[in-house]
Structure formats: structure tokens, C-alpha cells
Amino acid sequence: MPTRELRADLIAAATALVERAGSAEAVSLRAVAREAGVTAPAVYGHFADLDALLAAVLDEGFAALRTAVTEAVARRSDPGERLVAGCRAYVETGLAAPGRYRAMFGPRRVAGSRQAFGLLVEGVAACAAAGRSRSRDPEAEATLLWTALHGLVTLRAAAPEGPWPDLDEQLPALVGRLALLTPAGDAGRDQAGPPGPV
């Protein structure tokens, strides 16, 4: 098996184990090797240790998150719609692999979390610049929004059968309120006034 292919297989095996266990802490190098169908020493040809392998799993998770958000916003032109679409992609990506998502924001947290947050700040800032948000501090609004999105993913993943509202209704309301969005027709209004209902 080519070296690059084996490395990808090891990451895929570790990702599958993280997802099944629901935690990166429950994964061992021996289990990864078994999952990938190789001997344990073969892992060391690609990763110095378990931490390096798990870091690659989390890096790949953040890359998938960034790709999903980037692709979602590229299909919209209105900044407010782009922000909602990006937030939906964030939630859907987290719910598609909740074990990996938990690990991404757990004790092994990597630099990718800062980049994920940066996408939210950029989205809120773009809305403010276009007059689609009353935000005067995009980082503060993005922090509230990220907290809510993280909670939404965590709660829905923990109780998928819960009485959750439809995402098509919940996300626009959540993003609209926390990012201080204004209706598209109000883009030219003075943003200095007090926040009104979304």
C-alpha cells in the first residue's frame, strides 16, 4: 500500500474509532492499527505517537468544517443569508460526526478552533459592513453566536430524538438575534439606533 494511502487509512481508522467511542481519549494506537488492518509498528512510520495521530484527525475535522462553511456561503450573495447558510453548514457538519466534533473542542483542542471562530467573525463583520447587522463589535456577536451554535450541536447530538424545532426555523431566528441582523430592505438605515426585533 502506498505511504500516502496508508497515512490516510490510519486517519480514517482513528476517526472511525473516535466517532464510535464518542471520545478521543478512548482510542489507542493498537486499536487504530487493528481498525486499519495493519500492525501497530506500521503506525509509527507515519505518526510519532497517538497524540500526533489524533491531532491529524482533529485537523481533518476542522478542515471539513471550514470547507462545508465556505461552500455554503459561496452559494449566497446577501451577507445575512451567507451568515445563516454558514451557520447551518457548521451545525450539520457537527451533527454528521458528533464524536469527532466533541473531540475537536475537547482537551486536545487545536488551532483549527480559532480559524473556525474567525469565519464567524468575518461573517458578522461582512453583515455589519453591508448594513445588514447593527453590530458594532463583530467579535462579541460572533462569540455569542458560536456559543449558541456549539450548544445547538451538543444538545442535538446528545438527544437526537429530542423535541427540537426545525433547523430551517431555528437557525435564522438564532443567527438573526445574536448577530443583530436587519431585514435586507433595511440595509441603508442608520445603524446607530437601538436594536429592534429581528
**What is the 8-class DSSP label of residue 166?**
P
Hey, where are the domains in the chain?
3-186
Joined grid coordinates for residue 176: 438573526
* Cα–chain center distance at 59: 12
Q: Closest Cα partner for 47 from 79, 16, 6?
A: 6
Residue 181 contacts residue 133 (beta carbons within 8 Å)? yes
**Which residues does 25 contact at the CB level (< 8 Å), separation at least 6?**
107
pLDDT at residue 2 in the model:
61
C-alpha 90 chain-centroid distance: 4
Q: How far apart are the first and last CA of the chain?
A: 56
The residue among 135 and 115 whose pLDDT is bigger is: 135
| pLDDT in the model for residue 22 | 86
Pick one of 3.90.260.10, 1.10.260.40, 1.10.357.10, 2.40.50.500 as the CATH number of 3-186: 1.10.357.10
**pLDDT tens string 14-35:** 999 999 998 888 899 999 999 9
Please give the grid coordinates belonging to residue 159: 438527544
C-alpha cell at 100: 469527532
Give the pTM: 0.87
The residue whose grid cell reads 445574536 is 178
Q: Mean pLDDT score of the chain, rounded to an integer?
A: 89
